[in-house]
Structures are given as structure tokens and as C-alpha cells.
């Protein structure tokens, strides 16, 4: 028996009560949950993790056919397949991680009724397993990137030092996915309405994001709509770091970053509040 | 030595009635009703009422004590364990826990059918609050206790129900916690395994752990526990030795069933 494990259980702990001791104590669980998430997804599939790269690749090819070949939409001088693949990579991460996180509490309701563990590990483990998928998908992007860079006599895009900033954009993407996901998860735990709203919201959000079009195609009077969207800055910065295209204004990057940080911070707090008496209402 | 569990005036209430659960529509409906009620347009028969699942419970548990919690369905036994296990917050009062707590309200929490027995032991152990190192050190004992050695690298979906529960219980039985909460989990498996499970718990008790045990099997409760806490409609009505507690429980259970018929 050691005093370090003394714990007081009482009502009303306020918004900021996080059981940090538990987070540290259960750290091994987080790793196992990520692994379970990933392994369970692809066991008993023939292609296994190939599905991870197949999905965005087919989507990128569809975009090439639809927007580039049929509608002849310009892509800022970047080879269309690279242009679309890079956008889809970011968007797919957001939509799939957010979707999974938003139902994570409900899906594990039975588990939550029976065993205590830091509930925040549900969204965090999903975030980690989606990052792992992103890593696999990035290898396809890298292969395409190097192919276009070296095979064509005069490269159509520039490789710049800004490429080192990519982890920063991905970090920002993680914050945003976790933030919006935990907000929706918290709300869904009480009101199932938000479950239906998520699918609709994601579709609208996708069209409001510069995935299949570049910012230069948006009339200048309407560019603020795209800019107000925190994902836009991430997608555009990701592309400009990769291809050396027009950089996103610093102010916009800052605003987007602050939005992501505050959404994430408030989302995690809200989730923590919502999970506390979740099993009483589920 | 200090008590391992100190519960002071613990209460838990649930809301009953029209309070909106589930959808926004319900909430708006409730809000509208409330607004009308405040303007006395509607009679107040639909306002929310509170239901006290637990009311002013206080007790202490010393090291080496196994306490049986007796009570009819809905008396608050599981609610009490859920609060102590941090699964839900109390409405009033507090509980002090000295030492590591493991709640075994079901066996096999977090088990995934596609993962092997080995992988699930680690996963379940982690959900129960064990570190990787601890699981590794108990691994052989867990597997041996379950009697599933030949199938430890087979996905658990191919296990029979008995094998599954045996493996799941074995992980829980090896937890190195100071306080154990058990909710009807010693009734699993066949007679031989049940005997082993009870013996294991008696062994834990002798090591100085505190055990809270909920079960409807009076024989098993009496084998393991020497003290009884009787709950009736959320209130603690008896705290004393097992024999008296069991008698009291059986008498009230009989008289209430007579009333019902």
C-alpha cells in the first residue's frame, strides 16, 4: 500500500480537473489501444493496409479525370495527380479521424460502463492510428513527388527549404481533428442529433476547402470564405511547402493556428466534462 | 493501519421523468414545458423528479477484509461499485481510497475477438490498470491459471465460451491492486474453475487486500466474506458480520416477495 495511490472521489470537480496521475499510470494502455485499433481494422482483410493507400489514390485519380481532364481546372502548374493527392491526404485525415473520434465514446459505451481508464485515450488513440495511416499514405505521395521531380526534364515545381515545415502543418491538422472530434463526441454523447449533423457538416466543409481547386480560382470577393476555414490554411501551406507555390499570408496562418489550438483545448475540456457522467445517460 | 476505503455520506441521484435524454428535440420540449409551467399554464405533474439510488452511505473497510454487499435488485449495489470504480460521480459525499483499486465489474474488458489470447492478456491487463512490465511478470501464472496454454496464440474468437471467461478472469485474478471490487464475476466457468477463483480471492484477502463483493449467490458470499453491508432502496441498513447480515437479507427478501404476490 502506498500513499501515492490515494484517491478521493467526490461530486463536482469543476472543468479543469484532469486526472494527470492516471494519464501517466495508464500510458502503456494508450500504445495497446492504438495497436488494437490498427490491427483490428485490417485483420481478416485480403489486402490489409493496402486499403489505406488504395482509397486516397483512387480518389485522386477520380479527381484528375473529373476536374483536370474533363473540366480542365488549372492546378497552379503542379501535376494534377500530385495536386489532388496532397489535398486529399489532408482532408481524408481530418474527415476520417474526426468521424471516428466523434463516435468513439458511444461505440465504447459498454466498455466505459465496466472499466475505468482515462477516457481521453479513446480520441487520442484514434488520432494516433490515423496518423499511422497518414504515414503510409505519405509514402505514395513521396514516390509520386520524386517521380515528377526527377523524371521530367525541367521540374514543373520547385523543391524549397520550406519542406521542413510540413510536420508543423500536420501537427496543426492533428489539433484541429482532435478538437472538432472531441466537441462532436461530447455533444453526441448527450444529443444523438449531432451524429447526423457530422456527415452533413463534413460534406459541406469539404467543398468549402481548397482540395479540388486552388485559391487563385476563387473570386477575390469570396476568398475570405475559404480563408475563414481553418483547414484551408493547412492544405494551402502543405502544398506551398511541397511545391513552392504561393505562400499563405503569415497572418492567416497565425489565425488558423490559434483557431486550431483553441478548438483543441476547449474540445478536450468539454469531452472530459461530458465523459464524467456519460454512463448515466447512455 | 489505516482503512483502505473510507466512504462518507455518499449519495447518488438520477433524474427521472421528462428531462430530455437523447435528442435536442427532447431538450427543447422540456424547456418549453418548464417555461409554460413557470407561467402556471400547465400543471406540474411532468417536472423532473430525483431518484436516489444511494443515500448517505458511510462505511470503512480495513486491509484484509472481504465485504459482501447484499441487497435486492435496485438496492444500489452496482451503483456503489461504479462510484468507487470512478465510472460515475457521486451526487453528494465522498470516498477516500488508499491504494490501487481494480474493479472487475465484468471480465474481459477491452478484449478484441481478432486478437490472440496473448495480445488480449496485455490489452485487458492495461485496461485494468496494469503496466506492461507487471503483465509480463504475471504472464505465465495467468496463462497457467486459465488452463489455456496450447491456445494462447490463437485469436480469442475461436475460443469456447468457457476458455474465454477463464482467460478473462485469470487476468483480473492476478491484479496487484490493494482494493478489489467484484460484481458477480466469481460465478463464471465450471465448478472446478469457480472453486479455484474463490480460493484465489481468499488468498488475496489473506495478503491484506480489501475486497468488496456483490453476488446473488449466498453460499459464495459467505465463503469469501466475513462482513456484510446490507442495502435497501439505496440506504445502508446493516453493517456487521456476514451471518447476521445474510439472515436479515433473506428475511427481508422473503417478506418483500410475500408482499408482491
Q: A91-134 pLDDT, tens per residue?
A: 999 999 999 999 999 889 988 888 889 999 999 999 999 999 99
Residue A161: the pLDDT is 85
Residue B48: per-residue pLDDT: 53
Chain B residues inside the 8 Å CB shell of A105: none
What's the pLDDT score for residue B18? 45
Model confidence at A33: pLDDT above 90 = yes
**Cα of A197 to nearest chain B Cα, Å:** 12
How close A263 comes to chain B (CA, Å)?
A: 22
Could you tell me which residues come within 8 angstroms of residue B235 by beta carbon, excluding any fewer than 6 positions away?
A: B55, B56, B57
Q: What is the pTM of this model?
A: 0.87
H helix count then E strand count, chain A:
13, 1
pLDDT at B25 over 90: no
Sign of CA dihedral B60, B66, B71, B74: positive
Interface A-B: count of C-beta contacts within 8 A:
122
Question: Cα separation of A185 and B192, whole Å?
Answer: 44
Res A269 pLDDT > 60: yes
pLDDT of residue B84: 93
- Comparing C-alpha atoms, which of A89, A277, A42, A272 is closest to residue A178? A272
Which B residues 6-25 touch A at CB under 8 Å?
A: 14, 21-25
Could A279 and B21 be called an inter-chain contact, meaning their C-beta atoms sit closer than 8 Å? no
Q: Give the residue carrying C-alpha cell 482467460.
A: B167
CA A280 from centroid of its chain's CA atoms: 30
Per-residue model confidence (pLDDT) at position B191:
84
The answer to whether A192 contacts B25, with C-beta atoms less than 8 Å apart, is no
B260: confidence class by pLDDT, cuts 50, 70, 90: low
**Contacting B residues, span 183-202, partner chain A, CB-CB under 8 Å:** none
Burial tier of A61 (Cβ tally within 10 Å: 0-12, 13-18, 19+):
middle
Order of strands across the sheet that contains B101-104: B101-104, B179-183, B210-214, B66-70, B227-232, B235-241
Taking 70 as the threshold, does the pLDDT of residue B47 lie above it?
Answer: no
Which residues pair with residue B96 across a beta bridge?
A8, B6
The string over A3-15, giving b where at least 16 C-beta atoms fall within 10 Å of a residue's C-beta and e elsewhere, is: eebebebeeeeee
Chain A: residue whose CA lies nearest to B93: A10
Model confidence over A166-215: pLDDT tens digits?
999 999 999 999 999 999 999 988 888 888 889 999 999 999 999 988 88
What order do you get walking across the sheet with B49-61 strand by strand?
A7-10, B92-97, B5-16, B49-61
Residue A225: count of CB within 10 angstroms of its CB: 11
Q: Could B112 and A36 be called an inter-chain contact, meaning their C-beta atoms sit closer than 8 Å? A: yes
Average pLDDT over residues B3-24: 76
For chain A, percent of residues with pLDDT exceeding 70? 95
Looking at beta carbons, which residues of chain A come within 8 Å of B87?
Answer: 112-116, 279
Q: Is B201 helix (H, G, I), strand (E, B) or coil?
A: helix
Contacts of A9 in chain B (CB under 8 A): 83-84, 86, 89-90, 94-97
**B interface mutation test: which of A12, A17, A32 has the most B CBs within 10 A?**
A32
Q: Which of A34-43, A273-282, B23-32, B229-238 has the lowest mean pLDDT?
A: B23-32
| B89 in contact with chain A, both atoms CB, cutoff 8 A | yes
pLDDT classification of A1: cutoffs 50, 70, 90: very low
Tens digit of each residue's pLDDT (9 = 90 or more) over B130-186:
889 999 999 999 999 998 889 999 999 999 988 998 898 898 888 878 899 998 887
* DSSP H/E element including B183: strand B179-183
How high is the pLDDT of residue A12? 67
Q: Could you tell me the pLDDT band of residue B39, with boundaries at 50, 70 and 90? A: low
Nearest-by-CA chain A residue for B90: A11
Under the banding of pLDDT at 50, 70 and 90, the label for residue B196 is confident
Query: CB of B3 within 8 A of CB of B61?
Result: yes
Q: To the nearest whole angstrom, how far is the Cα of B124 from the nearest Cα of chain A? A: 9
What is the overall mean pLDDT for chain B?
A: 85
**pLDDT for A142:** 94
- Closest to A278 (Cα-Cα) out of B82, B182, B213: B82
Over pLDDT 90: what percentage of chain B? 44
Chain A touched by B102 (CB under 8 Å): no
Amino acid at each position: 500500500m502506498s500513499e501515492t495511490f490515494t484517491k478521493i472521489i467526490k461530486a463536482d470537480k469543476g472543468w479543469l480537473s484532469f486526472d494527470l496521475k492516471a494519464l501517466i499510470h495508464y500510458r502503456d494502455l494508450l500504445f495497446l489501444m492504438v495497436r488494437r485499433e490498427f490491427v483490428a481494422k485490417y485483420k481478416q482483410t485480403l489486402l490489409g493496409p493496402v486499403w489505406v493507400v488504395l482509397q486516397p489514390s483512387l480518389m485522386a485519380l477520380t479527381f484528375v479525370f473529373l476536374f483536370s481532364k474533363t473540366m480542365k481546372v488549372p492546378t497552379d502548374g503542379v501535376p494534377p495527380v500530385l495536386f489532388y493527392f496532397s489535398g486529399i491526404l489532408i482532408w481524408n485525415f481530418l474527415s476520417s479521424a474526426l468521424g471516428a473520434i466523434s463516435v468513439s465514446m458511444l461505440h465504447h459505451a459498454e466498455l466505459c460502463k465496466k472499466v475505468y481508464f482515462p477516457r481521453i485515450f479513446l480520441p487520442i488513440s484514434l488520432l494516433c492510428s490515423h496518423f499511422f495511416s497518414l504515414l503510409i499514405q505519405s509514402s505514395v505521395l513521396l514516390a509520386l513527388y520524386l517521380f515528377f521531380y526527377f523524371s521530367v526534364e525541367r521540374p514543373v515545381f520547385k523543391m524549397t527549404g520550406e519542406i521542413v515545415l510540413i510536420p508543423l502543418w500536420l501537427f496543426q491538422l492533428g489539433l484541429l481533428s482532435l478538437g472538432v472530434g472531441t466537441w462532436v463526441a461530447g455533444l453526441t454523447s448527450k444529443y444523438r442529433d449531432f451524429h447526423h449533423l457530422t456527415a452533413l457538416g463534413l460534406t459541406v466543409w469539404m467543398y468549402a476547402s481548397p482540395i479540388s481547386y486552388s485559391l487563385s480560382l476563387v473570386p477575390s470577393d469570396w476568398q475570405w470564405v475559404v480563408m475563414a476555414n481553418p483547414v484551408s490554411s493547412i492544405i494551402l501551406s502543405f502544398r506551398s511547402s511541397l511545391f513552392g507555390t504561393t505562400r499563405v499570408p503569415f497572418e492567416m496562418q497565425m489565425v488558423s493556428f490559434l483557431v486550431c489550438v483553441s478548438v483543441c483545448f476547449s474540445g478536450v475540456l468539454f469531452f472530459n466534462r461530458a465523459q464524467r457522467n456519460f454512463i448515466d445517460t447512455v | 493501519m489505516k482503512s483502505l476505503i473510507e466512504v462518507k455520506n455518499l449519495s447518488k441521484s438520477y433524474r427521472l421523468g421528462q428531462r430530455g435524454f437523447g435528442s435536442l428535440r427532447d431538450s427543447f420540449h422540456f424547456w418549453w414545458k418548464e417555461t409554460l409551467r413557470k407561467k402556471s399554464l400547465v400543471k406540474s405533474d411532468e417536472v423532473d423528479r430525483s431518484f436516489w439510488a444511494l443515500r448517505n452511505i458511510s462505511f470503512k473497510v480495513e486491509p484484509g477484509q472481504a465485504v459482501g454487499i447484499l441487497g435486492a435488485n435496485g438496492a444500489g449495489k452496482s451503483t456503489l461499485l461504479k462510484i468507487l470504480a470512478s465510472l460515475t460521480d457521486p451526487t453528494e459525499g465522498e470516498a477516500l481510497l488508499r491504494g490501487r483499486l481494480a474493479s472487475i465489474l465484468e471480465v474481459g474488458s477491452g478484449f478484441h475477438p481478432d486478437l490472440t489470447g496473448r495480445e488480449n492478456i496485455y490489452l485487458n491487463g492495461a485496461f485494468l490498470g496494469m503496466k506492461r512490465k507487471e503483465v509480463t511478470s504475471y504472464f505465465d501464472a495467468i496463462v497457467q491459471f486459465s488452463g489455456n496454454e496450447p491456445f494462447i496464440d490463437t485469436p480469442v474468437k475461436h475460443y469456447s465460451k468457457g476458455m474465454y471467461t477463464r482467460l478473462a478472469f485469470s487476468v483480473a485474478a492476478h491484479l496487484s491492486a490493494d482494493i478489489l471490487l467484484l460484481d458477480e464475476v466469481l460465478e463464471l466457468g465450471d465448478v472446478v474453475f469457480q472453486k479455484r477463483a474463490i480460493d484465489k480471492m481468499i488468498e488475496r484477502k489473506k495478503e491484506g487486500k480489501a475486497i468488496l463483493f456483490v453476488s446473488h449467490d449466498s453460499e459464495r458470499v459467505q465463503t469469501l466474506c466475513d462482513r456484510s453491508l446490507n442495502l435497501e432502496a439505496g440506504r445502508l441498513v446493516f453493517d456487521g458480520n456476514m451471518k447476521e447480515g445474510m439472515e436479515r437479507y433473506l428475511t427481508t427478501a422473503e417478506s418483500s416477495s410475500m408482499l408482491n404476490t
